[in-house]
């Protein structure tokens, strides 16, 4: 399942676009950010709340440490409370990945994730903006995680990823793209104070079993093909 396009509400489009251009070095045209083969469209939302959303970007499977070191030169990384100095995180074994987290211009919890099962490799190259390959994850607060998971399975064939999840968290999709379903008010890892809040996202997917549209309460539109 691939995440082709995300319409992402932000309180300040100019500030968000400047962050992706100047800090991460990504191509930006107005509010449209090109992240490898994916597009991120920043749209103004007066009710967007600071530090309530999550996005992850794929990097080559062997580039976890290189991506971390490159990122640390550009932005303050997010560590885990109570674990001094830890800002490169191993995912659970079923995910086979490692990640670095950092705040965006509006406090969005952003992530670079190296999924080792992915075929892309950094090799001996220097890491740079061109190694941000795609939008890998979109965080989606939903009223009922279990119901959203069932509806996505029925409509788009999106399977649970990395285990069955819980009442407040479940990932669906695969190594190409994941929808991270969470209960509103749940903290985005690795923080304790960046709490998920519904934001009115629009997410375009490809490589799914079905074709159509699905609204996940409260207000995220999924378009899949």
pTM: 0.96
* pLDDT band, very low/low/confident/very high, at 218 (cuts 50, 70, 90): confident
Q: Which of 180, 196, 177 is nearest to 188 (CA)?
A: 196
Q: Which of 131, 138, 161 is nearest to 65 (CA)?
A: 131
Residues 77-134 have pLDDT tens digits of: 999 765 567 899 999 999 999 999 999 999 999 999 999 999 999 999 999 999 999 9
Q: What is residue 81's predicted lDDT score, i.e. its pLDDT?
A: 64
- Could you tell me if 175 and 117 are in contact, meaning their C-beta atoms sit under 8 angstroms apart? yes
Distance CA 170, CA 84 (A): 28
CATH of 2-224, one of 1.20.190.20, 2.40.50.140, 1.10.1070.11, 3.10.180.10: 3.10.180.10
* pLDDT band, very low/low/confident/very high, at 174 (cuts 50, 70, 90): very high
Q: Which of 137, 85, 140 is nearest to 115 (CA)?
A: 137
Decide if pLDDT at 135 tops 80. yes
Residues 5-48 have pLDDT tens digits of: 999 999 999 999 999 999 999 999 999 999 999 999 999 998 88
3-class secondary structure, 65: helix
């Amino acid at each position: 399942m691939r995440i082709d396009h995300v319409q992402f509400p932000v309180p300040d489009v100019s500030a968000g676009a400047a962050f992706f251009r100047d800090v991460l070095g990504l191509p930006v045209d107005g509010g449209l950010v090109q992240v490898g083969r994916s597009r991120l469209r920043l749209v103004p939302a007066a009710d967007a709340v600071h530090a309530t959303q999550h996005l992850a970007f794929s990097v080559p499977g062997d580039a976890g440490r290189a991506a971390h070191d490159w990122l640390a030169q550009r932005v303050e990384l997010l560590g885990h409370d109570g674990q001094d100095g830890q800002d490169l995180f191993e995912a659970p074994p079923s995910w086979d990945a490692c990640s670095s987290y950092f705040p965006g211009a509006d406090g969005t919890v952003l992530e670079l994730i190296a999924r080792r099962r992915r075929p892309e490799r950094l090799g001996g190259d220097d890491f740079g903006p061109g190694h941000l390959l795609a939008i890998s994850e979109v965080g989606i607060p939903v009223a009922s995680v279990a119901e959203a998971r069932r509806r996505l399975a029925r409509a788009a064939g999106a399977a649970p990823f990395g285990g069955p999840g819980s009442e407040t968290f479940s990932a669906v999709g695969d190594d190409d793209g994941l929808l991270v379903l969470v209960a509103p008010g749940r903290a985005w890892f690795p923080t304790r104070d960046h709490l998920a809040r519904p934001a009115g996202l629009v997410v375009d997917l490809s490589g799914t079993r079905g074709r159509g549209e699905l609204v996940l309460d409260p207000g995220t539109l999924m378009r899949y093909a």
